[in-house]
Amino acid sequence: MKLYSYWRSSASWRVRIGLALKGLPYAYEAVDLLASQQKADAHAARNPMRQVPVLELDDGTRLTQSLAILGYLDHLRPDPPLYPVDALERAHAVALAEIVNAGIQPLQNLTVLGRIEALGGDKLVWGRDVIQSGLEALQAAAAPHAGTFLVGDAPTVADLCLVPQLYNARRFACDLDRLGLLTTIEARCAALPAFQAAHPDQQPDAPRSTP
Ligand SMILES: N[C@@H](CCC(=O)N[C@@H](CS)C(=O)NCC(=O)O)C(=O)O
């Protein structure tokens, strides 16, 4: 398999965690979002939304949308499950994942921030506000179901969405003191090798710091 990814892309990061948790090997193909490589026709042929991630299977089939890709990985290798097997737990996990996937990340992606700026708005204030209010809603929604992780005692698709979104929250200077449940769970995720391997700084296209 080949993953088209960008080191700081939160949606790509979700898929990298899923691949690592399942121990699935893959080739990494960087798409430089800052150089607008996602806008090129070659990438539009992979994903008409001109976004990463794209997971290309060995037979050339291309999968897009991180949550759909994670669902595919669960069928390919069910253990450990990213989507809980129990129907209610699954619904809770998907609801939390969608708060990030549909309710936060699309409001602060590169294209939207560029439009805010072009319209004369302050993209950093906008980004901070939508991430802050979204994560506060996520925390309130998670509280009744949380165990060691967001839903129960093993990482689910919800945690795979949480960790990259908190990274973005720091970049936008959100107030994390109000998000204690989320940052506690983030720390538990960060202790796991799969989450460490998927971190942006570990990716081949991450800028190398000069000695
Ligand atoms: N819902 C999509 C979101 C994909 C997405 O927004 N990707 C961002 C990076 S995290 C992107 O490629 N942005 C490029 C752009 O905005 O031009 C998914 O989960 O895969």
Rg value, the chain, Cα:
17
Pick the CATH number of 87-195 from 1.20.1050.10, 3.40.50.2300, 1.10.10.10, 1.20.1440.120: 1.20.1050.10
DSSP string of 178-191?
A: G-HHHHHHHHHHHT
Beta carbons within 10 angstroms of residue 185's beta carbon: 24
- Whether 26 shows a pLDDT value over 70: the answer reads yes
Please write the tens of the pLDDT for every residue from 98-115. 999 999 999 999 999 999
Of 1, 20, 41, the closest CA to residue 203 belongs to 20
CATH 3.40.30.10 matches 2-80: yes
Q: How many angstroms separate the alpha carbon of residue 97 from the centre of ligand 1?
A: 15
Candidate of 52, 99, 116, 157 to mutate for ligand 1, largest count of ligand atoms within 8 Å of Cβ: 52
- Take atom 9 of ligand 1 and give the residue whose Cα is closest: 9
Please write the tens of the pLDDT for every residue from 139-148. 999 999 899 9
Please write the tens of the pLDDT for every residue from 147-176. 999 999 999 999 999 999 999 999 999 999
Burial class (CB in 10 A: 0-12, 13-18, 19+), 141: middle
Candidate of 17, 51, 99 to mutate for ligand 1, largest count of ligand atoms within 8 Å of Cβ: 51
pTM above 0.85, yes or no: yes
Q: How far is CA 179 from CA 96, 150, 170, in A?
A: 15, 13, 12
Q: How many angstroms separate the alpha carbon of residue 52 from the centre of ligand 1?
A: 5
Ligand 1 pocket, 53 CB below 6 A? Answer: yes
Query: Counting atoms of ligand 1 from 1, which one is nearest the CA of 8?
Result: 10
Ligand 1 pocket, 52 CB below 6 A? Answer: yes
CA distance 118 to 51: 20
Domain boundaries, the chain: 2-80, 87-195
Please write the tens of the pLDDT for every residue from 33-53. 999 999 999 999 999 999 999
- In this prediction, residue 210 has a pLDDT band, given cuts at 50, 70 and 90, of low
Q: What percent of the chain has pLDDT over 90?
A: 98
